[in-house]
């Protein structure tokens, strides 16, 4: 058993320095959560890492990575209505995928309880947008807690689970990237496992669970009434904290990470404003907030992303006839990014300059931007290098979500439009309409193929759309940490049926289906040339294992061959194709144009050999035996 697994299974109370995601895993055990489902996406995958650190035969809960967030939500819902406390977690935009079922949850009687953990991403550290999922709570009539630290994540999960079981309604725990990943010493309670009661407890009489027209109004009325119960709880909720600095003139209402940033900024301030920190952000503690407003002349609402709290607080003040000056978002940058201490300092200094909050100067300049790039040896790089040669500059390429999204960067410029997981086939279909002169090519990964790609593929075949789909198969969900998918042949518990992309596609019936190794540049280029010249919906599978995953596994197994390519300086013509068109980060060019390979980056895969017109890039050899000098 791993050290992490042993820690999580500890029976006595203890304290440990952990990230927020790990603290959540321990809270699941202490609350008796029985079913946990997910689809991987940053910033939440470490919750799964912690759970999977416990050997399966000692794990007191069932866990699965589902094929997508909607399915994960439905599995957790099914377990809950059968009487088991359940949890589903995924990243911010994953809620968009789950929304069809998610918005129904508050209408249902969840016998076992259900906690939904959302990993929101202010700053778009690993997401395609900065969406603020607090709006979903209001839309779906589901209460929401927002922790600011690992300790609060642990405590709030326990409270959310307790109330969910008591009131038989779903609850949301809204994490953000910094809270998921920040470390803190957390005090954990003692824990004694309770034996699982496997008796099926689903009872249609607890419903109705069929929201047909005649049931909709009673179900909605019940959901809103139960939301009122949560609102009553909010008034006395210990996570809604008042920091009284005896300042009747100024106050701040805040929540989550901005609260900690605010405390950091106020450390050396003399006349500190009073602070009302909200732990439960929906429904809000209306009486507590109204009393705070009435006790202050001016109140700043400090929140990341949208003006969710600000709008509700201003509406409350209007309804209560309160004349407190309420200040929220003023400058355009207030709507963007994370509210780190530096940003909060700027906001406070702009509103209350007499606080004396000077902007802290950096001792060192920030490094130049370092855009993300494909790993050395990545099959996607080899594929893009070959595909680009088969397409005209005017042809249109459509990206999808995955490591291969990075193909839009120079020098590949593969993928000129992106919306969401699995969008590429629908978007490419639309781009192909009335298009007689520009070829349309879409890219999708094998994990996204199973997640959300199939409906668009079926639509393209059903409606006779004319474009080429290239499936970049690497055998894993690489972008979020190498989780298995239905084509991997494994799931979190062991071997599983490996679903074949070829057999699925053959059954669907595209106009043509081709397959090659992504490293086979000449062959892939020829396949693309042929496919784009054909009418109809064509598919090419360009396959190569994720080399980051493969090299890690080889090192663990002791089978890794430590090799690297080198550049023969005698035969090198300084054409720089290795740098300018293939662009593996292994290749380094000095001020004189001389190209060498970086020993810390090269994995000796040899995919780059085909990129050099002078054949100066030598085949992989044991380190130290190359001709580079």
State the pTM of this model.
0.91
Residues 444 and 479: their CA atoms lie apart, in Å, by 13
Residues 442 and 520: their CA atoms lie apart, in Å, by 19
Residues 486 and 473: their CA atoms lie apart, in Å, by 12
Res 323: pLDDT: 95
105-152 residue pLDDT tens: 999 999 999 999 999 999 888 888 899 999 999 999 999 999 999 999
Can you spell out the DSSP letters for 526-542?
A: HHHHHHHHSSSEEEEEE
**Residue 489: left (phi > 0), alpha (psi -120 to 50), or beta?**
left
16 to each of 9, 22, 23, 185, 187, how far by Cα in Å? 13, 10, 9, 5, 7
Res 366: pLDDT: 62
Say if residues 441 and 390 touch (Cβ distance below 8 Å): no
In sequence order, the 6+-apart residues with CB closer than 8 A to the CB of 136 are 95, 99, 102, 142, 172
Res 11: pLDDT: 94
Can you spell out the DSSP letters for 4-15?
A: HHHHHT--S-EE
Say if residues 32 and 194 touch (Cβ distance below 8 Å): yes
Which residue do the tokens 């009747």 mark?
A: 248
48-59 residue pLDDT tens: 999 999 999 999
CATH code of domain 3-236: 3.40.50.970
CATH 3.40.1360.10 is held by the domain 241-355: no
379-552 and 561-622 share one CATH topology? no
324 to each of 249, 255, 510, how far by Cα in Å? 10, 20, 64
340-381 residue pLDDT tens: 999 999 999 999 999 988 655 455 566 666 778 899 999 999
In sequence order, the 6+-apart residues with CB closer than 8 A to the CB of 433 are none
- The SS3 of residue 280 is strand
Please report how the helices 379-390 and 521-533 are oriented relative to each other, as an axis angle in degrees rounded to 10.
50
* Torsion on CA atoms 470, 476, 480, 483, rounded to nearest 10: 150
| Residue 437 phi, psi (nearest 5) | -120, -20
* Residue extents of the structural domains in the chain: 3-236, 241-355, 379-552, 561-622
- The SS3 of residue 87 is strand
- The SS3 of residue 443 is strand
Residues 139 and 235: their CA atoms lie apart, in Å, by 21
Which CATH entry fits the domain spanning 379-552: 3.40.50.970, 2.30.40.10, 3.30.300.30, 3.50.50.60? 3.40.50.970
Which residue do the tokens 């075949």 mark?
A: 461
- HSE (CB half, 13 Å, CA atoms) of 623? 12
CATH code of domain 561-622: 3.30.70.20
Low-confidence ranges of the chain (pLDDT < 70): 358-369, 624-629
In sequence order, the 6+-apart residues with CB closer than 8 A to the CB of 126 are 42, 43, 91, 177
Res 510: pLDDT: 97
């Amino acid at each position: 058993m791993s050290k992490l697994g042993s820690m999580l299974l500890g029976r006595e109370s203890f304290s440990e320095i952990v990230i927020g995601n790990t603290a959540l895993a321990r809270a699941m055990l202490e609350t008796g959560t029985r079913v946990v489902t997910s689809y991987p996406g940053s910033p939440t995958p470490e919750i799964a890492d912690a759970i999977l650190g416990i050997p399966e035969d000692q794990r007191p809960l069932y866990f699965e990575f589902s094929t997508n967030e909607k399915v994960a939500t439905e599995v957790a819902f099914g377990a809950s209505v059968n009487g088991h406390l359940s949890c589903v977690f995924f990243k911010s935009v994953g809620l968009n995928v789950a929304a069809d079922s998610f918005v129904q949850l508050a209408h249902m009687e969840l016998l076992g309880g259900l906690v939904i953990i959302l990993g929101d991403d202010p700053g778009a550290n690993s997401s395609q947008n900065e969406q603020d999922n607090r709006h979903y709570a209001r839309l779906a009539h589901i209460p929401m807690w927002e922790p600011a630290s690992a300790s609060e994540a642990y405590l709030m999960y326990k409270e959310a689970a307790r109330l969910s079981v008591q009131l038989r309604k779903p609850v949301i725990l809204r994490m953000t990237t910094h809270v998921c990943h920040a470390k803190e010493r957390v005090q954990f309670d003692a824990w004694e496992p309770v034996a699982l009661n496997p008796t099926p407890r689903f009872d249609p009489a607890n419903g109705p669970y069929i929201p047909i027209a005649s049931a909709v109004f009673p179900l909605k009325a019940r959901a809103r009434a139960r939301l009122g119960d949560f609102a009553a709880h909010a008034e006395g909720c210990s996570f809604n904290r008042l920091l009284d600095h005896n300042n009747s003139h100024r106050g701040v209402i805040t929540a989550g990470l901005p609260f900690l940033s605010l405390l950091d900024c106020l450390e050396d301030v003399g006349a500190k404003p009073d602070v009302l920190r909200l732990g439960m952000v929906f429904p809000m503690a209306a009486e507590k907030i109204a009393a705070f407003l009435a006790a202050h002349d001016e109140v700043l609402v400090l929140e990341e992303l949208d003006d969710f709290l600000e709008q509700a607080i201003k509406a409350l003040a209007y309804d209560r006839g309160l004349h407190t000056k309420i200040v929220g978002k003023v400058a355009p940058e207030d709507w963007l990014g994370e509210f780190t201490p530096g940003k909060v300092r700027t906001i406070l200094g702009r509103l209350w300059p007499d606080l004396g909050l000077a902007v802290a100067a950096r001792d060192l300049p920030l490094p130049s931007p370092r855009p993300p790039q494909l790993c050395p040896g990545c099959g996607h790089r080899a594929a893009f290098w070959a595909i680009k040669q088969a397409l005209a500059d005017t042809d249109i390429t459509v990206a999808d979500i995955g490591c291969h999204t990075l193909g839009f960067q120079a020098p590949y410029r593969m993928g000129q439009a992106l919306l969401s997981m699995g969008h590429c086939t629908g978007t490419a279909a639309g781009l192909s309409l009335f298009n007689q002169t520009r070829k349309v090519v879409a890219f999708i990964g094998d994990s996204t193929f199973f997640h959300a790609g199939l409906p668009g593929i079926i639509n393209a075949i059903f409606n006779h759309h004319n474009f080429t789909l290239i499936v970049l198969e690497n055998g894993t969900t690489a972008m979020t940490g190498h989780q298995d998918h239905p084509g991997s042949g494994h799931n979190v518990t062991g071997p599983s049926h490996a679903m074949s992309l070829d057999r699925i596609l053959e059954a669907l019936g595209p106009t043509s289906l081709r397959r090659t190794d992504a490293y086979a540049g000449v062959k892939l280029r020829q396949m693309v040339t042929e496919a784009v010249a054909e009418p109809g919906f064509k598919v090419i599978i360009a396959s190569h294992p994720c080399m980051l995953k493969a090299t890690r596994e080889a090192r663990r197994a002791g089978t890794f061959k430590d090799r690297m390519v080198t550049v023969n300086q005698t035969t090198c013509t300084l054409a720089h194709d290795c740098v300018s068109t293939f662009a593996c980060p292994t290749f380094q060019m000095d001020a004189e144009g001389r190209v060498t390979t970086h020993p810390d980056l090269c994995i000796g895969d040899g995919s780059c050999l085909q990129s050099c017109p002078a054949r100066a890039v030598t085949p992989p050899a044991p380190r130290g035996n190359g001709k580079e000098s």
